[in-house]
Amino acid sequence: MAWWPIGASLFASSEGSGLFVGLAGTGAAGGIAVTGFEWNATYALLALAWVFVPVYISSGIVTMPEYLQRRFGGQRIRMYLSCLSLLLSIFTKISTDLYSGALFVQVCLGWDLYLSTGLMLAVTGLYTMAGRLLSICWPRPFLFG
């Protein structure tokens, strides 16, 4: 695949209800300083990309756990970082997105918070099981003729 659908997929997958609800609340509480933080984070991420992407490409590495395994040796550090990343993602990103999305549905439709959460989990599960990797990225010939 070309670089731009991959970048668009990464950008789209980082957007969620937690971002919209969380940044709106933080912006209301902190003012314009939140905007400055977000813009500065963009520049920091671009600088990190210019530093680390060439290292990854030259060594043929795809993931951070793989880099740590090659750098420090052994399978334990790779498994540790993989499990830690998965747990942190579940307890921070996914739970926050579920709660804020359910809160949004509760406010808009007046549904119960638990019903909204269960409905979002069911729809996401069905979408993921039905689409598998095709729900993440489409093969190039299908998308571009």
C-alpha–C-alpha distance, residues 124 and 76, integer Å:
32
Q: Which residue has the tokens 């668009």?
A: 8
Give residue 137's pLDDT.
58
pLDDT of residue 144: 44
> What is the average per-residue pLDDT within 19-28?
80
Rounded Cα–Cα distance for residues 19 and 27 (Å): 11
* pLDDT tens-digit readout, 39-92: 888 888 888 888 888 888 888 888 888 888 888 888 898 899 989 988 998 888
At residue 133, the pLDDT reads: 62
pLDDT higher than 70, residue 138: no
The pLDDT score that the predictor gives to residue 14 is 72
Separation between Cα atoms, residue 141 and residue 145, nearest integer Å: 5
The predicted model scores a pTM of 0.60
